[in-house]
Amino acid sequence: MKKLFVGSFLFASLFAVSLMADDLTGFVGDAMCGAKHTGAGKGDAGCAQKCVKGGADPVFVSDGKVLKFDSASLASAKEHVGENVKISGKLNGDTVTIASITAAK
């Protein structure tokens, strides 16, 4: 009986870990330029803002990877285009769901 309890507890803990939020730091850029902009370059912010105003979707660039935002997070992401940010949320494959987004320090 004790082995069953311990095994059940370990199995359930795997699901609890998957429900935890991911903390990500990176740059909110645009889908046209993707990883060309990391937030470190002089024109990165202006270019990303111009492209998003022109119709490109915002993307999240972190550690050289370009991640997209889910549809529920697009409005929050658009408010931070051209900024280095910290996102608390969920990463599912290459898609980020924003729970909170703040300027990175």
CATH code of domain 21-103: 2.40.50
pTM of the model: 0.78
In this structure, what is the dihedral angle of CA atoms 79, 44, 50, 33, given to the nearest 10 degrees? -100
Domain borders along the chain are: 21-103
Q: Give tens-digit pLDDT for 31-89.
A: 999 999 888 888 999 999 999 999 999 999 999 999 999 999 999 999 999 999 999 99
Identify the residue with better confidence: 19 or 35: 35
- State the pairing for strand pair 95-103/65-69: parallel
